[in-house]
Structure 1
Amino acid sequence: MIKLDLITGFLGAGKTTFIKIYAKYLAQSGEKVCVIENDFGAINVDMVLLKELESEGINLEMIVGGDGKEAHKRRLKTKLISMAMMGYTRVIIEPSGIFDVDEYFDLLYEDPIDRFYSASNVIAVVDSKLCTEMSKQARYILMSEVADAGAIVFSRSQYSTKDKMDSVVNFIESAMDEFKCREGLESKYISYGEWSALDSSWIDKIEKAGFSRNSYEKMHLETDDTFQTIFYFNFQMEKDELQRKISAIFSDPECGNVHRIKGIVKDNEGAVYEINTTRNELVAGVVDNTDAVLIVIGEALNKEQIAKYLGKPTI
């Protein structure tokens, strides 16, 4: 059967960066790998950021959201069925940072998915500088992503401290207690070390972590209503100016609870760069791409206020 890995993590946790390293590791180990990239909203930005994996012989497939849970589940099921016919030995699913893991396990036990795939690992990526000022809905999403994981991988640990990561662990455990999660973090493998593709010993343990089905108090959550996205197509702005405006947006409470701003942007000379930001981190780099799109993700977003910084959105 085809091994299926699920890589979870809240918005901006670092899932895409982790998958770049993890997928290459699996491919170099002889696996025929496909990554199914799924994003919250109608446009899949992270798919663009994973393009470099294709040069490693790793196939990329895409699913977009934006029109409800059932439609998304149907598209994911169809995609998995088609991938089962392609000879892959390992399929990695990267869902959006707003994802109820129960949807994944419900799908695994449906016919004919259960005849093609076996669950291998659920890996939760957690930002080592996670902002712990979260709404109840966001705490629930974070908890549910961690609850069934066999391994928890801290991202950006080189920019954090052990005390901060311990406080993040305590925060996750308190969220698990809040929603009456049966098991805590003691049953999971936790990787604190800096990510390195040169020394793969840290991935060896994660690749064998498996998963842990956990029970917890369910919260009715319609992500389409709770979390919103704002899109800017063909977005153009100088990098330094955009960075200043993004910092201002995160600092402006009238913009709403902005979790992440990411995308591919053109400067005034037509050069293309990547922007990927959370409240804790701002990353910008040159990319080889012609499609420019910027996405703002958060809760209770105020489009009019955000437009004062970025202009009128496309969607």
Structure 2
Amino acid sequence: MKDVYLFSGFLGSGKTTLLMNTIRQLKEQNLKPAIIMNELGALNFDSQAIEENIPLKEMLNGCICCTGAEKTEAQIQSLLADSEFDVLIIETTGAAHPVEALDAVYSPLFANELNIKGIVTVADSKRWLEREGMSIQTRSLFLEQIRHAHLILANKMDLLTESERAKVTFEMQNINSHALIIQTTNASLPIKYLQRLQATARPASIQQATIGEHLHLGSRLVTFNSEESFTQEKFEEWIKTLPNSVYRMKGFVPIEGIRNPMLFQYAYGLTQWLPEYVKMEPNLVIIGENVNELELPKA
């Protein structure tokens, strides 16, 4: 499986510097990286710093977390088909909401090929202390990027006093008690901290699924066996039992009387069923908080 990291954070926080540092360390370990860079504008100047021998896909004029979700899936499929790599790093635009960015990466089409290691949020520590001066929308996004991270880099610590450093760390820890927070300058991070992350629950039989580690925001891949099938009514009854901490589900669900598993999507309480004319592997990706603890549906 290919390890995948999502780098989150506002423009100027240090994401690209972290990307360059990570690429260098991966190459020192003889691991081949591939990169997807997302930018809202028509030109991505950051991509010019990527070496020519590293597989690179760019998403311009759109955010990975909204209209770019289908493009992200296509880019990943293209990389898997055409490039040799060990690790995929996705640098999101500063406007990306972490949950939406994570959703764009998960697809039942290649769920068995990717190991989502986690969301790494790079936070400008000085900007954090000045966040009350931001617009409500920008401040809210900043808090969401902190709250849903698996690893937080409190960056630009060299610009703060000792008491300010302590304040930043304490406040971020209050927002997200699950994530490791590391104080950094120039986004300098030993790669061992990335490689310890694990946001993806391992595939399990729907009858033998086990509770894994306690995670904040993550995913779970449920694989249905060939004998299992559901009625739409029974499956949706199960959906009604789910907590609000389940944000997204998508996959191919076997339905009684239907030849091929149906394409199923769920987002914030709303469901969609679509016929699938090609027989796809019956599986379901669940995205949310503490998804390993969910009671799964029974056929």
Q: Shorter-chain TM-score category?
A: 0.5 to 0.7
Instruction: Give 1:209's match in structure 2, choosing from 197, 202, 215.
Output: 197
Aligned to 1:115: 112
Q: Are the equivalent residues in 2 in contact too, given 1:123–1:150 (CA < 8 A)?
A: yes
Measure the CA separation in 2 of the matches of 1:35 and 1:140.
28
Counterpart in 1 of 2:73? 77
Q: How does 1:55-66 map to 2 (within 5 A)?
A: 57-66=53-62
The one-letter code matched in structure 1 to 2:88 is V
3-state DSSP class of the match of 1:113?
Answer: coil
Return 117-126 or 157-166, whichever deviates more.
Answer: 157-166
Q: Indicate the residue corresponding to 2:93 in structure 1.
A: 96
**Runs of at least 5 residues in structure 1 that lack an aligned partner in the other structure:** 177-183, 219-315
Q: Which residue of 2 aligns with 1:40?
A: 40
Give yes or no for contact 2:4–2:118 (8 Å, CA) kept in 1.
Answer: yes
1:240 paired residue number: none
Cα 1:67–1:173 shift into 2, 3 Å: closer
Question: Aligned AA for 1:115?
Answer: N
Q: Is the 8 A contact 2:118 2:198 kept in 1?
A: yes
Mapped contact 2:148–2:216 kept (Cα < 8 A):
yes
1:144–1:158: structure 2 CA closer, same or farther, 3 Å change rule? same
Relative to the length of structure 2, the TM-score reads: 0.59
User: What do the CA deviations read for 1:28-56 (whole angstroms, capped 9, x no partner)?
Assistant: 112110111111233323222x23x44xx
Contact 1:108 1:114 in 2 (8 A): no
| Distance (Å, rounded) in 1 between the aligned partners of 2:181 and 2:63 | 35
Task: Return the offset for 1:105.
Answer: 2.6
Tell me, yes or no, if structure 1 residue 124 matches structure 2 residue 160: no
Larger mean CA deviation between 162-171 and 144-153 belongs to: 162-171
How far 1:26 sits from its partner (Å)? 1.3
3-state secondary structure, aligned to 1:16: helix
Which of 185, 188, 208 is the aligned partner of 1:194?
185
Which secondary structure does the structure 2 equivalent of 1:93 belong to? strand
Segments of 5+ residues of structure 2 without an aligned counterpart are 200-214, 218-242, 247-299
Cα pair 1:10 1:141 within 8 Å, conserved:
no
TM-score by length of structure 1 reads 0.57
1:192 CA displacement: 1.1
| Alpha carbons of structure 1 residues 173 and 138: separation in structure 2 relative to 1, 3 Å | farther
Separation of aligned partners in 2, 1:21 and 1:76 = 24
Alignment of 1:1-315 (within 5 A): 1-48=1-48, 50-51=49-50, 53-54=51-52, 57-66=53-62, 70-85=66-81, 86-130=83-127, 131-132=130-131, 133-169=133-169, 172=172, 176=175, 184-185=176-177, 187-195=178-186, 202-211=190-199, 212-214=215-217
Q: CA deviation at 1:188?
A: 1.6
In structure 2, relative to structure 1, the CA distance for the partners of 1:27 and 1:163 (3 Å cut) is: same
More helix by share: 1
C-alpha separation between the residues in 2 aligned to 1:172 and 1:40?
A: 27
Q: CA separation in 2, counterparts of 1:60 and 1:43?
A: 14
User: How much does 1:205 deviate?
Assistant: 2.3
What is the identity, as a one-letter code, of the residue corresponding to 1:17? T
Percent identical: 22
After TM superposition, give the deviation of residue 125 of structure 1 in Å. 0.6
Q: Is the 8 A contact 1:122 1:210 kept in 2?
A: no
Q: Cα distance, 1:173 vs. partner?
A: 6.0
Cα distance in structure 2, aligned partners of 1:167 and 1:136: 21
**Superposed CA RMSD:** 2.8
Greater Rg, structure 1 or structure 2? 2
Q: Which residue of 2 aligns with 1:227?
A: none
| Count of matched residue pairs | 202
3-state SS in 2 of match to 1:37: strand
Tell me, what secondary structure is at the counterpart of 2:111? helix
Letter in 2 for 1:62: E
Q: Which amino acid aligns with 2:180?
A: Y
| Separation in 1, partners of 2:10, 2:186 | 18
In the TM superposition, residue 203 of structure 1 has moved relative to its aligned partner by 3.0
